[in-house]
Amino acid sequence: MWALFIIFGFDYIRPFTFDWLKPEVLLATTFLLPTKLMLFIFIFSILLINISLKYKKIFRGLGFFSLILGIILLQKPQIPMPNLKINLISTYIPQNKKWNKNYIPIEINNNFKYIQTSIKKHYDVVVLPESAFPLFLNLHPFLMLKLLNLSKKITIVTGALHYKNKKFYNSTYIFENGKVKILDKHVLVPFGEYIPFPFFQKEINKIFFNGASDYKTSKKFGIFKIKNYKFINAICYEATIEKLYTLKPHYIIAMSNMAWFMPSIAPIIQKLLIKVYAIKYKKIVFHSLNGYKSYIIKG
């Protein structure tokens, strides 16, 4: 009974949208598919094998049979890769430098180096991490113009802040063919990007965040196109929200700043959760990170 609750019950426990209680991640680094059904079959098989040690050998055979049957029935589906050459940029900027006004010009200069190198290597798309431009990018017309001009040679997907109607957003900027599309984050990090209480928000922000205001959100998850391919936009925490994976496009471009959590195992947990959801919902995730190596996960 407890095993069933552990496998299936945690799906209904999501404090402040925190959706990381997924026991199937235990299978994410094995040859078994990281699904709830496979985890159930695995536990059931082990139980039968364990019983066989005390009672009849037939239970051992049933245990091995159920495990092998589960592996056969739950074969990993194949999803075709988009016909795009995508360069996922990895950066390793410590959090104490990330928002330092003296270091920001160096970050911006490096971003343009990544873009120019991607153009020289004939990539179709270059993806930079969350907040790769650590400023309100839309308030810097010179940078915007430079990125718009470069987007005539390569599609640029980058993270930056967005200021609109006196509100702050954590956003993705997509520059393509001399045009830009801005997608604001839909699900914020509780206690990191907003205070999840209907009261004392200003007081808490004043005490712990130097009076900074909460970020605002878009009404829904963002979807954008690169050439003829649709991508789901995911910024950091959003890449571990199961609801995002229920959207129709097969491809996700995610970006994260994991320097917040270093040193820790948070980037590894995030990667395992992304793998679980990518397999469950048949997605391919292109993930660009600061503080950890970027990667592609095929569902």
Look at residue 145 and tell me if it is in a domain. yes
Q: At what angle do helices 141-150 and 104-120 cross, to 10 degrees?
A: 10
| 253 and 117 inside one domain | yes
Structural domain includes residue 78: no
Residues 132, 252, single domain; the answer is yes
- Using 50, 70 and 90 to split pLDDT, how confident is the model at 218? confident
161 falls within a domain = yes
Asked if residue 136 belongs to a domain, the reply is yes
Which comes out higher in pLDDT, residue 12 or 32? Answer: 32
pLDDT in tens, 40-87: 666 666 666 666 666 655 555 555 555 565 555 555 567 899 999 999
Q: Are 113 and 215 members of one domain? A: yes
Cβ neighbours for 283, distance < 8 A, ≥ 6 positions apart: 79, 232, 245, 250, 251, 252, 277, 299
For 150-184, the pLDDT digits (tens) are 999 999 999 999 999 999 999 999 999 999 999 99
Answer with the one of 20, 51, 73 that is the final residue of a domain: 73
For residues 121-135, average pLDDT: 97
Does the pLDDT of residue 127 top 60, yes or no? yes
39 with 93, same domain? Answer: no
Same domain? For 67 and 121 the reply is no
Phi, psi of 225 (to 5 degrees): -115, 140
End of a domain among 51, 73, 95?
73
Residues 91 and 52 in one domain: no
* Residue 68: predicted pLDDT: 60
- pLDDT over threshold 50, residue 231: yes
Percent residues over pLDDT 90 in the chain: 56
Residues recognised as catalytic? 130, 185, 236
- Do residues 52 and 141 share a domain? no
* Assigned domain for 198 exists: yes
User: How many domains, in total, are found in the chain?
Assistant: 2
Q: What is the pLDDT of residue 54?
A: 63
For the ranges 19-23, 62-66, 280-284, the one whose mean pLDDT is highest: 280-284
Does a structural domain hold residue 177?
A: yes
Domain final residue pick, 26, 46, 73: 73
User: To the nearest whole number, what is the mean pLDDT of the chain?
Assistant: 82
- Are 10 and 90 found together in one domain? no
Q: Which of 234, 247, 240 lies closest to 271, judged by CA?
A: 240
In a domain, 37, yes or no: yes
CATH number for position 218? 3.60.110.10
Whether residues 125 and 67 share a domain: the answer is: no
Q: Would you place residue 212 in the very low, low, confident or very high pLDDT band (cuts 50, 70, 90)?
A: very low
Nearest 5 degrees, angle CA 86-CA 287-CA 194? 135
Give yes or no: residues 51 and 93 share one domain.
no
Both 31 and 159 in one domain: the answer is no
What is the pLDDT, as a whole number, of residue 215?
Answer: 72
Are 288 and 180 found together in one domain?
yes
Structural domain including 221 reads 86-298
Neighbouring-strand partners of residue 172 = 159, 183
Q: Quick one: pLDDT at residue 261?
A: 76
pLDDT value at residue 266 = 87
pLDDT(247) > 50: yes
